[in-house]
Amino acid sequence: MDESRIRLYALRDPALPALPTLLGREAREVLQAALEEAMAQGAVPAGTVLHGWHPQQVLWHPERALTVVYDVRLRDGAGQSLHDLVVASTGAGMPSGALRLEQAGQQVALWTAANDPRLPGLAVALHPQRLRALLAALGLRAARILPRLRSYRPGSRAVVEVQADDQRLYIKVVSPQQVAALQRRHALLSRHLPTPRSHGWSAEHGLVTLEAMPGFTLRQALSDPAAALPAPAVIADLLQQLPDTEDQRPAPDPAAMLRTASTLLEHVLPELAPRLERLVQGLLAPGTTGPRQPVHGDLHDGQITVVEGRITGLLDVDTVGLGHRVDDWGNLAGHLATRMEGTGGIARARIQEYGRQVAALADGLVDPATFRRRAAGVALALATGPFRVLTSDWPAETRRRVALAERWLESARNVAAPRMERRTSATGRSTSPAAATATAVALEGGG
């Protein structure tokens, strides 16, 4: 058995006794019991059998809650294959309205993605007939409706891509209590920036219908050798156009992100605990953050769309709020560095060169040491990703990302050190500490 499975099956949480079942082979029994209950209620045709399954997403808050999304394959009595996403949740925050089972002496709530109790809009957005009626009410009429679930975080949010005849659009689904604020944010930002405009929203269902922005994401462009890329200075100009938010809501807190990530990593790979403690202490050290101002809050190469090197869209503005510009630059650099770690060939070289340009620009706009600490924090947060989606080699990938965060932190310390006011490169040319360290980090895979 490979390390990823050995590690996964060995995980325990005394506060969540059902965890070994939901992450192990015994999960089949839970899914089978849910299938039998669904057949008894008429939600699934009689005679349907569980043909296959695997965990697709794991959201674990140690000692608090666990949610697992399974990719489930069914086969009905006629032999036709069916496919669904089934969610199992245990611990704090289990939603009402879901099927409840008992496993290992603990309650487990189960539901399908299309019937998420906290996201009623998904039942509409994923059902072509119901979606057609909703779009018609918003003035968008189409004979052919093809919805596709693009992202899903149980109980929190989802994005559905919709092909409506020859028009493409996106539906964001959140809780009904949050949708009015999301609609206001898109309405405000689309007056100042190339952010997706809303075609309409439903307070009852908690969904906003958004236009699709032209072009490809910067992430896709970086992987295409023929694609032109926007200069990082253009991104800086775009960020400067972010307006003050009416609600004065703060952007996501990097410190909270660090603590959440390190706690999970200590549980999945306990031997990393000493390194993680040193990392968090270094990353939370006081730094020069600059003034509070409107920031994106989750800026990365998947949030920017481009056409022939021009920026055509800024996506996922849910996180826009008051923060520090250094957080946006650190977030972008941290994502680029992490992507480069898992990429080879021409794409790796393009990401590396673009990351070097981003770092050089950021050094002149924000405090270089704080910028590197922020990039390190993002790399550490992204180190939870391989476990969250259970890649085939998630322990090794996690260790590589933790090491990447350590390199960025070391770079921050070098930049901040008084003795680094001037240093001489290997060629004998004098260069600034920021520029020298940016180049070194980029060559090492640090963006």
Q: What is the pLDDT of residues 375-427, one digit of tens each?
A: 999 999 999 999 999 999 999 999 999 999 999 999 999 998 743 454 444 44
Look at residue 141 and tell me whether its pLDDT is greater than 80. yes
CATH code, 121-211:
3.30.200.20
Residues of the chain with pLDDT > 90: what percent? 85
Q: Does residue 92 carry a pLDDT above 60?
A: yes
For the chain, what is the mean pLDDT? 92
The pLDDT assigned to 442 comes to: 52
Residue found by looking up tokens 């957080």 in the block: 327
* pLDDT surpassing 80 at residue 446: no
Convert the pLDDT of each residue in 199-242 to its tens digit: 999 999 999 999 999 999 999 999 999 999 999 999 999 999 99
Least confident of 38-42, 253-257, 329-333, 349-353: 38-42
User: Would you state the pLDDT for residue 421?
Assistant: 52
Q: Predicted confidence band at 172 (pLDDT cuts at 50, 70, 90)? A: very high
How far apart are alpha carbons 93 and 153 in whole angstroms?
14
**Cα angle: 218, vertex 194, 234; to 5 degrees:** 55
Give the residue ranges of DSSP H helices in 150-299: 179-189, 218-222, 232-240, 254-268, 273-283
Q: Where does the chain hold its CATH 3.90.1200 domain(s)?
A: 216-444
- Whether CATH 3.30.70 fits 3-111: no
Residue 276: pLDDT band (50, 70, 90) is very high
Q: In the beta sheet, which residues pair with residue 100?
A: 109
| Domain 216-444 CATH (choose: 1.10.3470, 3.90.1200, 2.60.40, 3.40.50) | 3.90.1200
Across the beta sheet with 106-112, the strand order is 49-61, 65-75, 81-91, 106-112, 99-103
Where in the sequence of the chain do the CATH 3.10.450 domains occur?
Answer: 3-111
- Residue limits of CATH 3.30.200.20 in the chain: 121-211
How confident is the model over 181-185, as a mean pLDDT? 93
